[in-house]
Amino acid sequence: MGSETFRIGFLPLVDAALPILAHELGFAAAEGVAIQPVRDLTWATVRDRLLYGHTDAAHLVAPLAIATTLGRGRPPVSLSVPFVLGLNGNAITFSIPLGEACGLGEGLGDPVALGAALKQVAAERRAGGRRLRLGVVHRYSSHNYMLRYWLAQVGIRPDEDVEIAVTSPPFAADALAAGEIDGICVGEPWNSIAVDRGVGRIALASAQVWRRGVEKVLALTAATATERPDAVAALVRALHTAAAHFVAPGTAGDSAAILARPEYLDAPVDAILRAITDRIRLVPGGAPIHYPDFMFQYREAANFPWRSQAAWLYTQMVRWEGRPFDAAEAAAAMATFRPDLYRAALAGSGAVLPGASSKLEGALGEPIAAGSTQGRLVLGNDRFFDGRAFDPDDMPGYLAGLP
Amino acid sequence: MAAFDRDWPGPAPDCRSSSVRIAIIDTSTTRAAIISEGLREAGLTDLAVIDPAGPLVAQVEAAAPEVVLINLENPSRDLLEDFFAMSRALARPIAMFVDQSDAAATMAAVDAGVSAYVVDGLAKQRIQPILELAIRRFQAFSRLQAELAEAKTALADRQVIDRAKAILMKRRGLDEPAAYALLRGHAMQSNRRIAEVAEAIVTSDAVMGGL
């Protein structure tokens, strides 16, 4: 059974739920695999443990899987993503003073109106010689790209009008409290913890920027994916079962209690439960509001690794690095996502299997039936807030049209 | 460190002839001191030990190091890598040291709990002895910690055994050798450590009080 063990690196975040629940609730054992969760505090260490064999798989920010394959900042090592661990679930939290300066009310902000207010505050602060500083959890994170996408589309130039700084999730509340950052785009429960500590207020959910934004992924080295195909397939099935359980009615309380434990998130169960149930407390002392699909799981084949998602992340990577589009790199980035492994693992099960491996992103305003080879696939509203759609077959054209 | 011995062509280098500026970033100030000492002994005296309580990026920027050593579990690694990524704009960008031809050395470093970042263009033979030394010092620190933990356990064991003996002497009217023999006999019978038996006696005495 030794070869069927997966040591899985993770950071203390709500979207590390699926491997943890697959381990704790026996879904992994039912598939004949054993999961050993390995907790870390930085994505750099999660990545290094994966590359040097301390772990067999990792809960990873999707862009970092692509950056590792492409060799950004280190020699390239090909990674494979057979399974997406979830969509969205992040928020943009402002410090209390920035929230007041932008006139945030009791509800979530409107991306366009809030963007206009933030633009004015950013200009004032810049003129005063101290630019606004906004935190993201990693250079190669969806948080960085979602925040920058929003800022750029409302006319705020990242790195020019505002500073973007890296802040690890568990230190988000401290950094807001100390005034080191004026806002942060981070995953749960760290927004909620900042609110509960009275040092921040949630301004936007990442789902308001892109309704179906790809978030964390399960990453393996391409070598592991090749050498252990049966074990990887069993792991994917276990995670898929865990995802179905995660969204099943009546399970949220137990899931939150497991995730809250010291060996996992080591965080208050109440904040975790709010994230899982899409009920978000926006202001200190306020009543949680219901924001549907704050964190998106399982439905609409949400765990399927669409190559078009990897393509969108690649466009944002070159956009903010200031590098030219490179067709070979784009192909390598897309090949990191492995819908073939997802299909191989779940063929013959009850899982919905999309017929295509790539799709237009952000083109759907309302639910629509889509082609599938197994089960019935319905895709919901997946719009970006500015209504722009992304065609993975025309990345240069898309990049040329961005501000 | 067989990998180094095997790979190293000829005698150990004289580090004194070349000055490499090294920054040490460690959440443990004790370990940082142990590493600095080792590097100094090897003639590598151009060191900057980064204060973990101060602003990281400003300190690293001011130090302008050619080699950065950081403990693997340091919570500032993502921030540091972000700074290095931005340093690509500089004349000599810094990147993680992972020479593909030397995967064994990098793996040994990660196993020891240290990661190294190096400026572009620094010769491999100048990096290797530094990394080798850092690995040895990290391992020595881990051993010291393990020994310290053992010593602490031994001390705690002795204290609880002394307390259990005192309880037995008072309750049963035994002398010290007899009390110890009773503890030891129980431990052997129940296949437990003497300290465990002693702890059970101390706990039950605390719970049962003067009964």
Q: Domain range for residue A236? A: 2-87+214-277+294-340
The count of structural domains within chain A is: 3
Question: Has residue A70 been placed in a domain?
Answer: yes
Residue type, A268: P
State the smallest CA–CA distance between residue B72 and chain A in angstroms. 6
Reported as a pLDDT band with limits 50, 70 and 90, residue B100 is: low
Is A228 in the same domain as A273?
yes
Question: Has residue A19 been placed in a domain?
Answer: yes
Is A240 in the same domain as A261?
yes
Is A55 in the same domain as A166?
no
- Give the whole-angstrom CA distance, residue A204 versus residue B112: 42
Of A149, A184, A209, the domain-final residue: A209
Complex ipTM:
0.91
Reported as a pLDDT band with limits 50, 70 and 90, residue B99 is: low
Is A138 in the same domain as A218?
no
Chain B positions touching A138 (Cβ under 8 A) are 78, 82
- Give the whole-angstrom CA distance, residue A303 versus residue A348: 17
Domains and CATH numbers, chain B: 2-146 (3.40.190), 149-208 (1.10.10.10)
Reported as a pLDDT band with limits 50, 70 and 90, residue B90 is: low
Chain B positions touching A139 (Cβ under 8 A) are 78, 81-82, 85
Of A185, A209, A233, the domain-final residue: A209
Is A103 in the same domain as A199?
yes
What confidence score (pLDDT) does residue A367 get? 93
Is A251 in the same domain as A309?
yes
State the smallest CA–CA distance between residue B99 and chain A in angstroms. 8
- Give the whole-angstrom CA distance, residue A229 versus residue A340: 11
- Give the whole-angstrom CA distance, residue A338 versus residue A66: 12
Strand intervals (E) in chain B? 22-25, 47-49, 67-71, 94-96, 114-119
State the smallest CA–CA distance between residue A170 and chain B in angstroms. 9
- Give the whole-angstrom CA distance, residue A98 versus residue A93: 10
Nearest to A42 among B75, B110, B111 (CB): B75
Is A363 in the same domain as A330?
no
Contact state of B115 with A48 under an 8 Å Cβ cutoff: yes
Question: Are residues A311 and A334 in contact, defined by beta-carbon separation less than 8 angstroms?
Answer: yes
What confidence score (pLDDT) does residue A3 get? 55
The residue that leads in pLDDT, B140 or B50, is B50
State the smallest CA–CA distance between residue B81 and chain A in angstroms. 8
Chain B positions touching A44 (Cβ under 8 A) are 77-78, 80-81, 115
* Closest-CA residue of chain A to B100: A75
Per-residue pLDDT for B129 more than 70? Answer: yes
Chain B positions touching A223 (Cβ under 8 A) are none
Nearest to B79 among A40, A75, A166 (CB): A166
Number of A:B CB contacts under 8 A?
Answer: 60
Is A307 in the same domain as A162?
no
What confidence score (pLDDT) does residue B101 get? 63
The residue that leads in pLDDT, A274 or B120, is A274
Contact state of B96 with A168 under an 8 Å Cβ cutoff: no
Instruction: Give average pLDDT by consecutive 10-residue segment, chain A, 403 residues.
Output: 82 97 98 97 95 96 98 92 97 97 94 98 97 96 98 97 93 94 96 96 97 97 97 98 97 98 96 96 95 94 98 98 96 98 96 96 94 94 96 97 95
Question: Has residue A329 been placed in a domain?
Answer: yes
Question: Has residue A284 been placed in a domain?
Answer: no
Chain A positions touching B76 (Cβ under 8 A) are 42, 168
Reported as a pLDDT band with limits 50, 70 and 90, residue B142 is: confident
Question: Has residue A345 been placed in a domain?
Answer: no
Nearest to A52 among B77, B79, B107 (CB): B107
Chain B positions touching A49 (Cβ under 8 A) are 110
Contact state of A41 with B75 under an 8 Å Cβ cutoff: yes
Chain A positions touching B85 (Cβ under 8 A) are 72-73, 139
Question: Are residues A98 and A183 in contact, defined by beta-carbon separation less than 8 angstroms?
Answer: yes
Chain A residues contacting B via beta carbons under 8 Å: 40-45, 48-49, 52-54, 72-75, 137-139, 165-168, 170-171
What CATH code is carried by the domain that includes residue A122?
Answer: 3.40.190.10
Mean pLDDT for chain B?
83
Is A223 in the same domain as A322?
yes
Asked if B84 reaches chain A (Cβ–Cβ under 8 Å), the answer is yes
Question: Has residue A115 been placed in a domain?
Answer: yes
Tokens for A28?
């992994």
Contact state of A40 with B85 under an 8 Å Cβ cutoff: no
Question: Are residues A229 and A103 in contact, defined by beta-carbon separation less than 8 angstroms?
Answer: no
Contact state of B110 with A40 under an 8 Å Cβ cutoff: no
| Of residues A378, A370, A380, A66, the one with CA closest to residue A210 | A380
Chain B positions touching A133 (Cβ under 8 A) are none
What confidence score (pLDDT) does residue B18 get? 60
Mean pLDDT value across residues B47-69: 91
Is A72 in the same domain as A218?
yes
State the smallest CA–CA distance between residue B96 and chain A in angstroms. 6
In sequence order, the 6+-apart residues with CB closer than 8 A to the CB of B182 are B168, B172, B174
Question: Has residue A78 been placed in a domain?
Answer: yes
Residue holding tokens 């040329």? Answer: A400
Per-residue pLDDT for B48 more than 60? Answer: yes
Helix (H) / strand (E) element for A234: namely: helix A229-247
Is A99 in the same domain as A73?
no
Record the pTM. 0.87
What confidence score (pLDDT) does residue B197 get? 92
Question: Has residue A54 been placed in a domain?
Answer: yes
Contact state of B100 with A75 under an 8 Å Cβ cutoff: yes
Is A390 in the same domain as A379?
yes
Chain A positions touching B111 (Cβ under 8 A) are 52, 54
| Of residues A309, A305, A299, the one with CA closest to residue A376 | A299
Indicate if the alpha-carbon torsion angle A105, A108, A113, A117 is positive or negative: positive
